[in-house]
Amino acid sequence: MAAAVTRRVNALRVEAPAADVESGRGALQEAAKRAVDAKDDVWVAADEGDTESTGGASRPLLFRTMKVKGSILHPYRFLILMRLIAVVAFFAWRVKHRNHDGMWLWATSMVADTWFGFSWILNQLPKLNPIKRVPDLAALADQYGSSGEANLPGIDIFVTTVDPVDEPILYTVNTILSILATDYPVDKYACYLSDDGGTLVHYEAMVEVASFAALWVPFCRKHCVEPRSPENYFGMKTQPYAGSMAGEFMRDHRRVLREYDEFKVRIDSLSSTIRQRSDAYNSSSNKEDGVRATWMADGTQWPGTWIEQAENHRRGQHAGIVQVILNHPSCKPQLGSPASTENPFDFSNIDTRLPMLVYIAREKRPGYNHQKKAGAMNVMLRVSALLSNAPFVVNFDCDHYINNSQALRAPMCFMLDPRDGQNTAFVQFPQRFDDVDPTDRYANHNRVFFDGTMLSLNGLQGPSYLGTGTMFRRAALYGMEPPRYRADNIKLVGKADEFGTSTSLVNSMPDAAIQERSITPVLVDEGLGNDLAALMTCAYEDGSSWGRDVGWVYNIATEDVVTGFRMHRQGWRSMYCSMEPAAFRGTAPINLTERLYQVLRWSGGSLEMFFSHSNAPLPAAGSTLSSAWRTSTCRRTRSSRCSSWHTTSSRSCGSSPSSSTSRGRSARTSCTSSPS
């Protein structure tokens, strides 16, 4: 191949090979392969073969298992054994040589030494067999297809946020844009934003996102942009080009950058725009009751939290809201238009469809414990069951974005693998962070935990759930047992009370257990709107198993870890997926105060979990935890965490019109869809 030609335009480096350029997906796979090859001095491939026979048919394996070389692992095990002998000898000496003059001091020190010795043993046991599992994206593409029409299952993506000040709204919009632009079949995933503050600024920001995404997403697809968060992409000093249209790239790049700068100005000015609009409407309404409402762009009052809070419109007291901002797209690609005087972008060969985007703000009422993030996640789980009901769910914090466009395909290699994929409840990714100082003085990268402890647990029943960057199987979130422990036909009759009073929700659950299922579009009519409103009410979970045996667990600070423990206790497995470039990236504390507060919160939650009924090592009826995994988790609940029915398969393409942006009215019952 001829040497690459480097062009410099406006301090931006673009590498354009003289011959044909590989596609963006191929470039990412090559980068991942180089990353694996670079660590061959540590990891070796396990002997697994290339296929697995299931039901008389041979299916290719979708991930590879790597083990630490024996020349490294065996000396480490021997060293641990020597240390264990030394610890036992030390305790024997302490017991034999008691200090009778200061018995109370000796007893106190013995208790402390015993505790730390026990802690050290628990810390070492899971590290005796670390395992790395590498997704085989090429095998997934061969079996399910690699284009936008690949026959992959449906995914619902959950993003949570609360306060647009504490969690800057620019982070949230970039997270959503990276999700809308990811490399996954457009009609097979949907994105949900939960705004737990119920603010109008978040809703109108999503409307702006939908408008800008109509330009950003085709640009990413045309030029194989990485990463697909515009703030992070345009902030890169160098942007190596991996597309096949280098001649048009610089022109498109300048125009999209200009549009993004204007988009940021609109996002930054939303608060003042909403306030000015509301002041104008309130002044013209001539009301004498002193109530000053917050008004939407269409001239209707916002049903959520107002700027000047009033009865039924304040934090902790407002109606539930569901707003479909982008409709579910059709199943057929829709090519864009060629360049013209009005539209300078040539998207004539690019699919311009956008995935479904939904805004949610659950109902809040005084006197109810709304359970913070866990409560918001459970509301999204129920609402999405009626709107898209994908068999898989991915959750993000609002400050994490998709850094690798293959990030949604990688966990599918574990979920769909013929060996034990159906018994995998969730796939956890490591947390990687931007803007950490070169010395990492506050240990934000947590290398020991993410690249050590989690790989060690990967060799047992699987890693813990860390709260973000995780793909779940929806059936596992519903509290169902894995297929190897449950009957082929599960009757939900008599169990409806566990899931609440919604018949529509219960009827959707058998379909959610079909892992090959795609997303079936629905029409949000009055009946469905009433069902959605009921699912978001504060009283819906009363008398049900939500927050205990169903959904995310309540009444504990570390709801993420405990939710993962519950699934492991039922017999589910989990997988740890590390890929290059990193699948997701986020922001980390930038000063000591924030870092100490974060560690204090995790430590307090872990201590609370250790003494609670949710502790995985404690015996429970029907528990199927492996003894090794039970022992290893005992140490992690005691110490601070360093993170963060078988039915007939039915497939359906979206028959609804193409994605459209809704700027229309949000009804007071708060369950509306954008016009087609």
Please give the positions annotated as active site: 196, 560
156, HSE (Cβ side, Cα atoms, 13 Å): 30
Cα–Cα distance, 368 to 316 (Å, whole number) = 9
Residue with tokens 């045996």: 549
CA distances from 509 to 191, 320, 404, 476, 495 (A): 20, 23, 31, 11, 12
Q: Confirm whether residue 440 is marked as ligand binding.
A: no
Alpha helices in 181-311 (DSSP H): 200-223, 230-234, 246-268, 270-285
CB under 8 Å to 187, separation ≥6 — which residues?
Answer: 328, 329, 330, 331, 353, 355, 518, 519, 653, 654
Helix H, strand E, coil C: the string for 146-159 is: CCCCCCCCCEEEEE
Instruction: Give CA separation, 291 vs 313, 314, 318, 352, 654, in Å.
Output: 11, 12, 15, 44, 44
Question: Which of 583, 340, 321, 622 lies closest to 469, judged by CA?
Answer: 583
- Could you tell me the two tokens for 546? 């939500």
Distance separating alpha carbons of residues 324 and 357, to the nearest angstrom: 6
The pair of three-digit structure tokens given for residue 463, joined into one six-digit string: 């890693």
CA distance 393 to 416: 14
Query: Taking the CB of residue 613, how many other CB atoms lie within 10 A of it?
Result: 10
Is residue 329 within 8 A of residue 659, CB to CB? The reply is yes
Reading the block at residue 352, the tokens are: 């311009």
* Residue for token pair 């978040």: 202
- Collapsing DSSP to helix, strand or coil, 13 comes out as strand
Element (H, E) at 669: none
| Helix, coil or strand: residue 402 | strand
Around Cβ 639, how many Cβ atoms within 10 Å? 16
Report yes or no: 462 and 564 within 8 Å, Cβ to Cβ.
Answer: no
What φ, ψ does residue 445 adopt, rounded to 5°? -70, -25
The label of the residue with tokens 């570390």 reads 558
Q: How far is Cα 407 from Cα 409, in angstroms, rounded to an integer?
A: 6
CA geometry: angle at 551 spanning 549 and 552, to 5°? 100
Q: Say if residue 372 carries a ligand binding annotation.
A: yes
The 8-class DSSP code of residue 335 comes to B
Residue 310 — φ and ψ, nearest 5°? -140, 180
559-569 vs 627-638: helix crossing angle, rounded to 10: 170
Residue type, 80: I
Is the CB of residue 346 less than 8 Å from the CB of residue 339?
A: yes
State yes or no: 196 annotated in a binding site: yes
Residue 432 phi, psi (nearest 5)? -115, 150
> Do 208 and 267 touch, CB atoms closer than 8 A?
yes
Half-sphere exposure (CA, 13 Å, Cβ side) for 518?
Answer: 22
Instruction: Give the residue numbers of the binding site for UDP-alpha-D-glucose.
Output: 167, 196, 372
Annotation: binding site? 167, 196, 372-373, 397
**Annotated binding residues for Mn(2+):** 373, 397
